[in-house]
Structures are given as C-alpha cells and as structure tokens.
C-alpha cells in the first residue's frame, strides 16, 4: 500500500516535470518564429532534456536547433512547432 502510494507520487512528479520541460521548450515558438535569444535558451536546454522523459521527436528537433547555429530554417521551426504540439498532447 505504501509502495503503491510512493510509486504514484513519483509518477505524478515525473509527469509534472515533463510537462514543465515541454512548456519551457515550446514557449519560445508560440509566436511561430525563433529569434536569436530564444535559440540560445533552447540550445542550452538540450543537455538537460536528453533522457528526461521527453518525446524523442522533441529532443531530436532541439538537438538540430542546437546544431544549426544562428540560421534556423523555416522547415526546422515548423518541425519544432509540430514536435511541441505532439509533446503537449502526450503530456496532457
């Protein structure tokens, strides 16, 4: 009984943490574009999101963003928007 409660509490914390990371990763693209300062923030998040329970598609796009330097293609921005939409749907 106690183990079940502890496991449930741990799962709820993990879910909450995942939702928060998705929110932080996806917030910069809410307006449909990424500026240089937002790109720096997203790039800095890459190390912390790897293996953090996020959908791999979102992690992959964030890695590509980090590797893209200052030139983020519209295609990559669109992929991030889709990955965020998918991740948000999964997190809810």
Give the integer Cα–Cα distance in Å for 59 and 83.
9
Q: Does this model's pTM top 0.85? A: no
Query: pLDDT of 25-79, one tens digit each?
Result: 788 777 767 777 777 777 777 766 666 667 788 888 888 887 877 777 888 888 8
Q: How far is CA 83 from CA 2, 62, 73, in A?
A: 37, 9, 15
For the chain, the domains span 2-91
Q: What is the mean pLDDT of residues 11-21?
A: 70
């Amino acid at each position: 009984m106690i183990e079940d409660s502890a496991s449930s509490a741990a799962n709820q914390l993990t879910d909450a943490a995942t939702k928060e990371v998705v929110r932080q990763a996806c917030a910069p693209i809410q307006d449909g574009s990424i500026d240089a300062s937002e790109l720096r923030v997203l790039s800095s998040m890459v190390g912390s999101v790897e293996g953090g329970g996020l959908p791999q598609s979102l992690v992959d796009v964030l890695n590509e963003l980090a590797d893209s330097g200052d030139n983020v293609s519209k295609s990559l921005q669109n992929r991030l928007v889709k990955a965020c939409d998918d991740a948000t749907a999964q997190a809810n």
